[in-house]
Amino acid sequence: MSGNGDTDERVVEQRGLFFEEFEVGTRYLHRPGRTVTEADNVLFTTLTMNTQALHLDAAWAATQPFGQRLVNSMFTLSTLVGSSVAQLTQGTLVANLGFTEVVFPLPLFLGDTMYSETLIDSKRLSGSRPGQGIVVMTHTARNQSGEIVATAGRSALVWREGARP
């Protein structure tokens, strides 16, 4: 078989789920986990102009309640959502519609490994955008000990199967 497409070769496109493929009540575990490094935290923090000493100043952070630098919570949120893309929305997302109830019950520390999962809460067809539907989900991040470090509700507009241009 040649790779030029002129044969009966099978082609598989890595993509997320179309609206019809999301099942309410299904929990998706996103793997592998992501071990957060000092470079991740410093780069993200400085790129986003967040000068919070809790992220950048090890000596000062050592005098604070957690006794060490904290991973920037916006990095935690971005990584939490980003880890779901390949499995859920790669190529099928039209747009993020919004986030609700973003919570960080425990900090993430340098060297922690974050594991992410997503629960599909509900879905409905869009009333104003034919060929698209709205999926509501809850993302959860846990550290290597299984402790929840972040949760976020998210609404996403996704393509229906066969409607994507």
What pLDDT digit, counting tens, does each position of 40-68 carry?
999 999 999 999 999 999 999 999 999 99
Nearest to 97 by CA among 74, 70, 129: 129
Q: Give dist(CA 28, CA 21) in Å, integer.
A: 13
pTM for the structure as a whole: 0.90
Q: What SS3 class is residue 53? A: helix
CATH of the domain spanning 19-159, picked from 3.40.50.300, 3.20.20.140, 3.10.129.10, 3.40.50.620: 3.10.129.10
List the structure tokens of 113.
């490994």
Q: How confident is the model at residue 3 (pLDDT cuts 50, 70, 90)?
A: low
What pLDDT digit, counting tens, does each position of 7-39 carry?
789 998 889 999 999 999 999 999 999 999 999
Q: What SS3 class is residue 141? A: strand
